[in-house]
Structure formats: C-alpha cells, structure tokens
A and B are shown apart, each in its own frame.
Chain A
Amino acid sequence: MDIAVGTSLDRIIIIAYFALVMGFGAYFGKYSKTTSDYFFGGRRFSWWLISISIVATGVGSHSFLKYSTKAYQYGFSSTMTYMNDWFFVPLFMFGWLPIIYYMRIKSIPEYFERRFNSKARYLATILTLIFMIGYIAIQFLTLSTVLYKIFGIPLMVTVILIAIATTIYMHFGGQTSVIFTDLFQGFILIFAGMLLFYLGIQFLGDHTPHSGLHAFWTNLSPVEKLPLAHFNHPPDFNFVGIFWQDGIAGSVGFLFLNQGLIMRFMAVRSVNEGRKAVAFNALCILPISALVVSNAGWIGRAINNAVPGTLPVDMASNDVFVAVTNIISSPGVFGFIIAALCAALMSTSDTLVNASSAIIVNDIYKPLSKKKNSDGEQLKVARWTSLGVKVIAVIMVPFFNTFDSIYEANGWFHATFTPPLAVGVFLGIFWKRFTTPAIIATFIGGAFLMILGQIFPEMVSPFAHGIELRPNRGYSYIGALYNIVVCAGVGIIVTLFTKPNSDKKLKGLTIFDVLKLKEIYKGSRPNEELGKPVNVNWELMENDNDIIQFSTNDMETMKAYPGDLVYIQDARWWLGGLRSVHTVYGNPHNEDGVVYINSSHLDHGQFLEGLQLKAEKEM
C-alpha cells in the first residue's frame, strides 16, 4: 500500500528539528575536556537527568514501528517487553552497578579482562562491537524507511544524511552532548507519543456516539485488552518465547551488557543516584514508554473496529504508525510526530555510537598502542572512531534490509549475540568459582552449539513449551532459552573441571566483595557518618593539588574530614550537575561559607562568578 504522507510544512518541521538538535548537541561540546568527560560525562549528573535521557535511548525509532505493528495485530500485549524488567533490578542496583562504578570499569570487555584475562576481553570486544554497530545500522534503516516515504529521497542517501546529522553534535560533544540531547529528545518523545494518543482518542470520540476513551475501550475486543500474549501461540508472537528472549536474555542484555546504558550510569554522580534513576525509570518511565510506542497500533485497531474503511483495507500492519498518524493529525503535527521518531533514532544511535567508540578506544586502541598516548590524542581518536563506526553501520544497512521485517532483524540480533555475553557476565559476577577457561568455552563452545541450534531447530524443540516449529524458519524467540541453557551448561561444566582464579585476582569484581568496593574506590576507609550539604561561595587559590578547602564549621556540618571525597556543584538544582566536580577535602580554614578551589576545578566545573556552590560529602 502507498501512503501519501506529509505536506511541505511537515518537511520543514522535520528539517528544523534536525537543525535544532544538532545545535543543541554541539553547544554541550564545551563541557567535554577529557576522555572521561567525552565517554562518561565526568560522573557528575543527577538521577532525574540520567533517567529521562535513558528514555530516549531505550525507545529507538524501531520501537515505534515495531510495537505499534504488534499493538495493531495483538492489542495491549504489545507492552509485554516493557513490563518485565523488574526481576533483575535487585541484582543490578546492588550487584552490578556498584561494581562498575567503584571499580571504574570503562567497558564490558574491560570487565572480562579484569575478571578473567585478555583473551576473554578480545572475544567480548568482538561480540559487543558487532552487536552495537549492527544495532546502529538497524536504527538507520528504520528511520530511513519512514523518511524515504516523506521526502522521496533514495533510501541509502537518507541513511547517509541521518548519519551526518548525528555525527555533527556527537563529534564535538561526546557523552555530555548525548545526555543533554537525549534529555531534550526524551521529553519530545513522551510528549509526541501522548499527543498521538490524545488525538486518537479525540478522533474516536468525533466518529462514534461515545466519548473518546469509552469508544477506545469498547472498540477493542477482550483478547486485545489482555496485557500478556497467548502462552505459546502463534509462533511469531507468544508469551513464553518473548519472556525468555526479552524478559530474561533481553533484560540481562539491557541492564548488564548495554555499553550505552553502562556509560549513562557511569555519568551519574553517585551509585545512589544511579539506583534512583533505575527505580524511577522502571516504575514510572517504562509504563509511559509502553503507551508511547504502542498506542498508534491500539488506536488503529479501535478505528478499524469502530469506523471500518477509515484505514486502507490492504494496509500492511507495518504501516500502521505512519497511516494512523497521518489520519488523526493535521499538517505540522504530523511533521512534529515524525520529528519525534527522528528523536528516537538519533538518541539511540548517538548512545550506541559513543559506546562503540568507547570500546574501540579503551579495548582496542589503548591496549594495542605501543606508546603512551596523551588524553588529547585519545580524545581525537575517540572522535574519529565515532565517525568510522557510523560509516561501517551505513555499509551494513543493505544487509539488514534483506530481512522480512525490522522486528525479525532485531530479534535475530538479540538471539544471536546476547546469550554468550549475558551468561558470561552473569556467572562472572554472581559465581566466584566461574573460571577463565569456562568463559572462553562459553563464548566459543556456546556459540558453536547455538549455531547448531540454528541449523537443526529440532535441538531447540525440548525447550519449545509447545510452540509450533515452522518449516524452514525455526523458532523465533524460544531459541533464547536454548541458547542460554547451552552457554550456561558449557560454562558450568568447564568450571567444575578447572581451577578457579585466586581471591586476590577477583577482588572487587564479584558481588561477594561489594562491601569492600567503597574502600577500594576511595583508597582508604570510607566515612559513612551522615552529614548535611552546605552552600558556599567560591574563591580561587593557587594550588595544583586536587583538594578544596572548607571552614572547620562547614566540615563539621558535612561530617567530613581531610582526605574524604566531596562533590561540589552549582547550587541551581535544575542544572542536574552539569557544572560540578568531584574532589577531595583539604585541611580546613576559618572562613565559614567559603570554599577555596583551584583553576583546574574552575575549568572543569565551569563555575560562574558570584554564584553559590552546593557541597556534600561522598564518603
């Protein structure tokens, strides 16, 4: 079906939006001074800022198309994948998050080297990079498919234009730009999704004798209102398969292996702020996101039931998002909603590009480079790497275009690359005995058995929970359970016959050492006394040491002692920590309400003359 889409006004709005986001991202480039800033945003942001920016990362452009398609076909059960992440939250909040934060782990492959050895790191690097760059390619393909319909520019040209647009602000700004553009785009995404729902409800109210919400509810069948799909039928959308693929493998993949998400959490100012971001995201943002990405499909289904003939009879389910948006919105609003789709794409791909670039610099360039490179040189490499990653992603687009649907391409990706890494990292964190030969065997042996499972799907049948095996197409989702079992099986068996690493080598890298992490991070015993933050004026001192000095009384209020760690930020809360630094308490002076900082703190924190700072003890 051909959908006539967009007016000139819509096209102008989409172009203006791209320009706005590029300018916004480029502006925040000034806050990236070092590779730590470029990749991790200087570990300074508040939970709410990180939480909203995660929305834009989690909701990719493919999410709108993929979930609205499933919502149109199956109803509310399209939300399943957004509502099954809580089971792993305790282990993430109190296991993985403190480990990566306090051990200053810069990438997932780096964890594999520290926990196991360099071979494990290289294998993990290859798997992670293929996964992320492929994922970027899928994002490019999705949006290009939509924009192609609106602008009529050939698909590959659209792909290249989108890659250039995101490169402009990423190249200069790194993680800080990513966080702030994602914050902006997160709001846009939520607003646009809610607007679409509101317009759909209004449309239903205008075209039926009932009020909008009533018309929406009554024009969905009971089956379409169920929040979970049928247990094991049909093969391309069933509960149990999706539970293992997304609820288990996907959740571990997202929380424990997604380099983009890990870097986002490394950018928070403390572990506790990271926990707040996770909790807020999982309890408040995920339900909203589910509504945002699915509602075009539900509205489409309700319109089809209430006002047959409004949507084209021969419309493919994949086209429901564009078709419904086109019908229920006026010119300009359509452009805005498509711009939100662009927001989803850009924010997901910028996170992944930044993450891939971090892995290339930290896991390939730095270990292989013979000379010791300066931070400036590494930053330069990081910037050019992000460009290279995009070029490779663009080259991969035609490959993904050969899949029947974006949903299938995405599913294949998760099923193929997540299980070995997920099993490896999970056993690594939570099983002290898990050995180095076992992780290598998990990667190689597990991958071999997974390939066998793809070639001979009968091997997956014992795990199928009664899901039908489709001739020549295998199992869609339940393969994840088979993949997890074979990878874990290989890992466990090899572990039982090999020698575990010493406790010294494992220090701080498993959940059993979480108690010691703060001490490792600080380098001395942490000060856990509860103090209060203080507001102070700053004065510049001539000193190169990384210390700042407060009065004795202010130190007493914060319950701090020289040598403790302190976080100091611009007192305006809504900056979310953008102007801030982490440093160390020096010896106290006698001027209450004054902090002495050096020029390096001033440069890094970008503090403004005459504005107060807020300081609090970290540990």
Chain B
Amino acid sequence: MLEFSRTWLPFIYLYGVGGIVFTVGLFLILRTKALRLSYLRHKKWFWLLLYGFVFWFSLHAIFIILAVGSK
C-alpha cells in the first residue's frame, strides 16, 4: 500500500498552495479590471483560465488513481 505522503499529500499541497496563488491572481486581474468579464473575448479567457486549472488538477488526480490501483 502506497503511503499518503507519496500519493495524495503532494497533490493536496500542490493544489492547495498553487490554488491560493491562482485564486489571488484571478482576483487581482478581475479587481484591477485587467480582465473584464463584460468583454466577450475576455470572458472566453476567463473560462480558459479556469479550464486550465481543472485540466492539470484532473490529470494529476487520474494518474494518482491509476498508480494506486495498479500492481
């Protein structure tokens, strides 16, 4: 059985600390209106930024699940 510190702990740390950086960044660009959701083009970028986060989150999670379940 793989230990927690090999499997999910790094994952939680990565998306916990990294998630804070990402959220603060997103908050800052929205707050300063560098990213304006009223612009169609910017709205697409906003969703792409969220998609990127979910993409990497899912990719790492899937590989951990596959590794844990393999022999």
Contact = CB atoms under 8 A, between A and B. Distances in A.
Interface in A77-119: 83-84, 86-91, 93-95, 98
B63 A87 contact: no
A228 B29 contact: no
Interface string A491-503: 0000000000000
B60 A83 contact: yes
A410 B67 CA distance: 30
What range describes how many residues of B lie at the interface?
35 or more
B33 A514 contact: yes
Interface in A211-246: 217-218, 222-223, 225-233, 239-240, 243
Contacts of A83: 56, 59-60
A222 B35 CA distance: 42
Contact of B48 (A76, A218, A225, A279): A279
Given A86-B22, A228-B14, A93 B71 contact: no
A511 B55 contact: no
A220 to B, nearest CB: 8
A512 interface: yes
Contacts of B25: 87-91, 95
B29 A90 contact: yes
Contacts of A229: 10
A275 interface: yes
A617 to B, nearest CB: 14
Contacts of A381: none
B13 A225 contact: no
Given A239-B10, A283-B52, A225 B66 contact: yes
B2 A90 contact: no
A283 B55 contact: yes
Contacts of A223: 2, 6, 67
A223 B3 CA distance: 10
Given A222-B2, A223-B2, A95 B34 contact: yes
Nearest to B20: A87
A233 B2 CA distance: 14
B14 to A, nearest CB: 6
Interface in A152-172: none
A446 interface: no
B56 A225 contact: no
A514 B9 contact: no
A272 interface: yes
A253 interface: no
Given A217-B70, A223-B6, A247 B45 contact: no
A427 to B, nearest CB: 13
A95 B28 contact: yes
B27 to A, nearest CB: 9
Interface of A: 76, 83-84, 86-91, 93-95, 98, 217-218, 222-223, 225-233, 239-240, 243, 247-248, 272, 275, 279, 282-283, 287, 430, 511-512, 514-515
The 5 closest A-B pairs by CB, nearest first: A225-B67, A514-B34, A228-B10, A239-B10, A90-B25
25 contacts: A86-B18, A86-B52, A87-B19, A87-B25, A88-B25, A90-B22, A90-B29, A90-B35, A93-B45, A93-B49, A95-B29, A222-B70, A228-B11, A228-B64, A229-B10, A230-B5, A230-B6, A230-B10, A239-B13, A240-B10, A279-B52, A283-B55, A430-B28, A512-B32, A515-B33
